[in-house]
Amino acid sequence: MRIHKWLLIVVFGVSSASAATVTVIEDFEYATEEELLLNWIPSGGATPALSTDVAPGATGDSCMKVDFSFPSMAWATETITGPVLDQPVSIAPEQYVTFRLRGDPAFSVSDYRDIFLYIYDAAGDFARWGMQVPVGDDWQIINFEGGAYQFPWDASGTIDMSQISRIAFFQYGSQAELDPYTATIYVDEVQVSDEPLTEFPPPSEPRDLIDDFEDYADDQALRSFYSYENSWHPTVTVASVGTPAPQGNQALRLDIDFAAGQWTWGSVRSPILEPFSLPPDSVVTLRFKGDSTLTGVADAGSNFWLSFYDEGGKRMDYISDAAPVISSDWTTIQITGDDFGDTSTIDTGNLVQWRILVEGWAEDQPALSATFYVDDIRVSTPVIQPVLSAARENGNIRLDMAQLTSGVDYELRSSTNLKDWTVVTVITADSDTASQLVTADQEIACFQLVERL
């Protein structure tokens, strides 16, 4: 269905937008590096420093740079612990804890590179939020939902979120004993806000085809594109080119040896690619073939996942129910934007990576092997709708029209009461944009742009 009308309501009076409440926890605006080092205490392999390489959108002049030197050991971890805050900070579940973070391509050698923001209350109880540190070296904004904190294994399991008095960063370097390596992060502007902080660049072009698996000459080509990511159990995933396929000749075949225990999963993850957008109205479709071998052990944790990552490494997940996972028939799965949950903190206009994952089960189960197929992951995007926006120009209002279709006639109409409309002008689009100046002599004016049929 094509939509032919667009409505813009312009209020010419003074608007009083309410600014979000922002509580700054740490902005690293220290006068000297010595002052920073008096406040932030590092572990043995972490070297903090004061840096002026701040993010383009940062309000201050300095940030904290931390050089890490990860030794060769399992679960290599370094920490930087901040000072006791002058005033305890309260973090409500619906608020966001945000900070700026610059990662490092050096982390790409790591098998586990999560960074955690720890919070401590006045009694010393603690909790944390975590994510994979970005492997790019651009500044990113990290938004954690206030209520989404987790207790690490060594925590008491309780925390007074109204009395947060200290923060710390924990940076993992590896899970396995990797060769020693060094990496650097920058952090800045740790704050609590009612709204997530976003500074997304303009959206990239949509990507119609995620993968139809037709272009891989052999298993090796497929495996050099995708990399494996498995649950921490000794689960093993083997990817190969599967035939026959419901689309073309080839599908993705995943043979997963699920380890015994709980929450066992295997996945393949694409490399980081040119950014692409997933417009809000778009629908992702794919074909999936499960394995009835799992029928006897299936529970709420038996899911197919399709996840996308933005440039900051933030992830959005579609998670199926068990039905397609235990069906040995092909299922067509349709995923709308809502199926990815809350994406307000994810730059859906600039996604760079996806992951295809099958989780075996949630309860304790013995080991089991199963085979899955995936094919024809693509995105359908609705017709691009024209956009009407307004800007002030020399005391007048300039109406900007974008995403027009060249050669089509549009009526620009105006109303002060949303009932009686008069035609301001008729525009024959000669490109995908047009603009029109109108006088700002009314308190309220509503405009609509109507395609003439």
Candidate list 136, 248, 279, 337; residue touching Ca ion; CB under 5 A: 248
Candidate list 257, 310, 359, 375; residue touching Ca ion; CB under 5 A: 375
**Binding characters for Ca ion, 157-196, by CB under 5 A (x = yes):** -------------------------------x--------
- DSSP string for residues in 252-298: EEEEEEEPSBSSEEEEEEPPP-S-BB--TT-EEEEEEE--GGGGGG-
**Binding characters for Ca ion, 196-235, by CB under 5 A (x = yes):** ----------------xx----------------------
Q: How far is the CB of 213 from Ca ion (least distance, A)?
A: 5
Residue 19 burial (C-beta neighbours within 10 Å; 0-12, 13-18, 19+): exposed
Q: How far is the CB of 188 from Ca ion (least distance, A)?
A: 4
Q: How far is the CB of 377 from Ca ion (least distance, A)?
A: 9
Position 88 contacts Ca ion (CB under 5 A): no
The long-range contacts involving 422-430, CB below 8 angstroms and separated by at least 24 positions, are 426/452, 427/401, 429/401, 429/404, 429/405, 430/406
Position 101 contacts Ca ion (CB under 5 A): no
The letter for the amino acid at 380 is S
Q: CB nearer to Ca ion: give 216 or 318.
A: 216
Residue 241 burial (C-beta neighbours within 10 Å; 0-12, 13-18, 19+): buried
Q: How far is the CB of 233 from Ca ion (least distance, A)?
A: 30
Position 245 contacts Ca ion (CB under 5 A): yes
Candidate list 28, 120, 144, 186; residue touching Ca ion; CB under 5 A: 28
Q: CB nearer to Ca ion: give 24 or 272.
A: 24
Candidate list 60, 71, 136, 203; residue touching Ca ion; CB under 5 A: 60
- DSSP string for residues in 157-223: S---TT-EEEEEEEEE--SS-PPPEEEEEEEEEEEEESS----PPPP--B-SEEE-S-S-SSHHHHH
Q: Tell me the backbone φ, ψ of residue 296, rounded to 5 degrees.
A: -70, -20
Position 27 contacts Ca ion (CB under 5 A): yes
Q: How far apart are CA 327 and CA 190, in angstroms?
A: 46
Candidate list 163, 247, 307, 331; residue touching Ca ion; CB under 5 A: 247
- The residues binding Ca ion (CB under 5 A) are 27-28, 60, 63, 188, 212-213, 245, 247-248, 250, 375
